[in-house]
Amino acid sequence: MEQVHRKRKASKSKPEDAFNSLSDNVITNILDRLPLEKAVRTAILSRNWRCKWAMLTQLIFDKGFFEYVRGLVGYKRFDEKCISRLLLHVNGPITKFVLCIPDNIVLDVEDINHWVLFLSRKGINELSMINMHENALKLPTSSFSLLNLKHLKLRNCYLHPAPIDCGFPNI
């Protein structure tokens, strides 16, 4: 007896993908809970996820982030341009920004000034600057333009007194 093998035609409808059907709010909430370097790495999951990390609302540049970047092939020293590049890709508002500068990493003060100015346009609510170096870090006067700021944490950083009629109205 001969068996007849029939070929099945592939279904034209794609199977339902649970991750791709999530709303942007849910995805952002999930990504905000991941360490920054892992949230960015979700771009490799699929074509649909390539730019999802750019919806992050919380950016935390901590010791783990700096160690991860230093461990990448080709990085002999930390390049602060990677933080600038990450910031330029973020689409929406940034509610929380944490910069914890380890004592073995040297950042250019001008770059930090540009980051603060950038954050002032992103509606930031919470800012933490933690400097682990011996010398205090002078923050720019553009820090006073962070009008939506509700929480400010500074460690080994300083600001010159605010000009008259300037300051942080929500703190």
Q: What's the angle, vertex CA 68, arms to CA 109 and CA 99, rounded to 5?
A: 35
According to the model, what pLDDT value does residue 74 have? Answer: 62
Block means of pLDDT (10 residues each) for the chain, 171 residues, are: 59 61 85 88 81 90 86 67 89 93 87 91 94 91 86 91 70 76
Cβ–Cβ under 8 Å, residues 113 and 142: yes
Rounded-to-integer distance, Cα 150 and Cα 146, Å: 9
According to the model, what pLDDT value does residue 100 have? Answer: 94
According to the model, what pLDDT value does residue 159 have? Answer: 85
According to the model, what pLDDT value does residue 166 have? Answer: 67
According to the model, what pLDDT value does residue 15 have? Answer: 52
H helices of the chain, in order, are 24-32, 36-41, 63-71, 81-89, 109-120
Collapsed DSSP state (helix, strand, coil) of residue 132: coil
Amino acid symbol at 78:
F
